[in-house]
Chains A and B, each alone.
Chain A
Amino acid sequence: MEQLSSYLQFHDVTKFFGDVPVVQQPFNLAVPAGQFVVFLGPSGCGKTTLMRMIGGLDTPSSGEILLQGMPVGAPDIRRGMVFQSYSSFPWLTVRKNIEFGMRFRRDLSAAQKKERAEYFLKLVGLTDFAKSYPSRISGGMRQRVAIARTLAADPDVLLMDEPFGALDANLREDLQFELRKIQKNSGKTTIFVTHDVEEAVFLADRIIVFGPRPARVIADVDVISLIGSERNENVRDSERFFHLRTEILHLLRGRDAKKSAAA
């Protein structure tokens, strides 16, 4: 039953680069459609590799990843990815970058593509910068361009590899707020990788907490049941938010494991 209801599934996935284990213990995860899942863990813990395998950018050494019950293969338009750096194409204007997201879609006419580009420009608040090149806008805007471009492609799964990692704190919070809103409105199943606990708690419906490499899940946290699904600045300042954040921090440090919020 669970197999049918889960949209994206890891089934006994392991990954070795040569002899080096990145994911040694078979990794299993079932993600229902529309869920915002954050992979949280220290640098080099294998969380990014797990996400890249969803995108087909790396392949499992054993096991398989199922999307709507079908094993995923080479990268395609169903699994869109947003990177931390080099996320937008510097030689294209903001609008052209977003249009690039639809370049390989045959189901849209040129007019429809134009219209959609306009829509996503507005969605991420960049209409006034449509003709600017990425080098002329801020780092936060560049990440918005990348998000809009990926959404324009209309993937089934949105994959994000520390997309806000290079931004300063205030900007990060703004973008987290916007992303959460966009994700809920679009209903896209999202996997978001980060090592920032606060970011994870603010964004996620559910957090998979990883220990140091090789990847090992130390907790699967149901964030909604703990702090609700509404996220805004008040939530960020709330007792529950602070409490959950602290608990996960302790988990990552290897203390208080018994009192963990593990589901």
Chain B
Amino acid sequence: MKELTPGMMIAVFEEMFGMGLFWALVAGAVLVTLAFLFVVLRDRKLVASRLVRAELLAPIGAIAAILFVQFVTSSGFSDIGGPVDVIALILIGVAGAGGLTVLAYVLQGLLGNRAGKAS
């Protein structure tokens, strides 16, 4: 690849997911992030019990993300061929784990009790 500008990356992602889905995903990610910030600022703290429950889902998010990538690319664990593959696998797992943890925390924060009544 000759150059990797942000504009080009966005063009590639738009083609990868389709214009609508890509920006819907971006909007979704932004909304969840904003909701997370809202819940944390509202509660003025990270609620430990909520966070622990959310973190329990992290391994599921990690495994789901990895299996999803393998499913859409006709590949599996036996195709890991070098260190960069392990790094990529870990990054995909971390993204899945982090994403699901934040989402779970936000959902608990919005749908469950407020921090003061949480415990």
State whether these chains interact.
Answer: no
Which residues of A are interface residues toward B (Cβ below 8 A)? Answer: none
Which residues of B are interface residues toward A (Cβ below 8 A)? Answer: none
